[in-house]
Chains A and B, each alone.
Chain A
Amino acid sequence: MLHTILFLIFAGVCVAGALNFLLQHHPVNSALSLIVVMGSLALLFLMLGAEFVAAVQVIVYAGAVMVLFVFVIMLLNAGVEARSGGSKVAVVLGVPGLIIFFGLMYWILSAPRSQLENVQIGDFYVPTQDLGIALFREFLLPFEVTSVLVLIAIMGAVVLARRERP
């Protein structure tokens, strides 16, 4: 019962923030709505027993990445975006996409309950220690590859954002 109430509250905040993100015309408003979505997603992660993922969601996503976005928006002085007369791609791809989306949602809802059981709070709790053991034993190679990727990304960002010599 408690789980249902909490899920409905945070899912409602999530969807409302995402819709606000879609409907706002100023990039700063969109960025702030996206921070709301990320914060309530972190609480949903906590309810699913993923405490480390929830903490990283708040620190890295809602903290670092969104601060970077807001910083770039202010640096480039981005104003209200120009209205365009609606691209044809949005109509051509959007209508079949919407139909497929609702079909898939109906299919998930009507799936037999034996495949998709209920989940509840405290049913599956992952301590950070278990996550670290899995990360550094089974997933050691992907972890190292990711560190190389981050290094390349840092160098690429520095090279791209550097001011050209006249």
Chain B
Amino acid sequence: MIPLSWYLILGAILFAIGVASFLIKRNIITIFMSIELMLNAVNLTFVAFAAHWHQVSGQVFVFFVMVVAAAEAAVGLAIIIAIFRTRETLNVDQVNLLKL
């Protein structure tokens, strides 16, 4: 029997680490993975609040978040492959033009 705030603080810590790695990392794939980490932290708060208020809809939202994250990962990785094909780099500092 633990307070709900522990789950929320864990979610906040994971989200903060995700934001930090989004800002610090230079590899475009790692930046994408930090977005996934942030989405996971939000999922944890959704499930914790669903357990707190005894609502099923919190878990349904988690389901939708997962579907959108999977779609985003597929499209984003395709974009990364297209960028790598034209520029031969994964460093975001060198990807600073919209056109070639």
Q: Is the CB of B48 within 8 A of A34?
A: no
Q: Select one of A41, A65, A150 contacting B44, CB under 8 A.
A: A41
Q: Select one of B50, B71, B77, B81 contacting A69, CB under 8 A.
A: B77
Q: Select one of B5, B7, B47, B66 contacting A61, CB under 8 A.
A: B66
CB distance from A116 to the nearest CB of B (A): 5
What is the interface of chain B, defined by CB distance below 8 A to chain A?
1-10, 12-14, 16-21, 23-27, 29-30, 32-34, 36-37, 40, 43-44, 47-48, 50-52, 54, 56-57, 59-60, 62-64, 66-75, 77-82, 84-85, 90-91, 93
What is the interface of chain A, defined by CB distance below 8 A to chain B?
3-4, 7, 11, 14-15, 18-19, 21-22, 27, 30-31, 34, 37-38, 41, 44-45, 48-50, 52-53, 56-57, 60-61, 64-65, 68-69, 72-73, 75-76, 78, 81-82, 84, 86-87, 89-90, 93-94, 97-98, 101, 104-105, 108-109, 111, 113, 116-120, 123-124, 126, 130-131, 134-135, 138-139, 142, 146, 149-150, 153-154, 156-158, 160-161, 163
Q: Is the CB of A56 within 8 A of B66?
A: yes
Q: Is the CB of B70 within 8 A of A64?
A: yes
The secondary structure that dominates the A interface is helix
Contacts of B32 in A (CB 8 A): 69
Q: Is the CB of A7 within 8 A of B27?
A: no
Q: Is the CB of A156 within 8 A of B75?
A: yes
Q: Is the CB of A153 within 8 A of B71?
A: yes
Give A119 to B23 CA distance when docked, in angstroms.
34
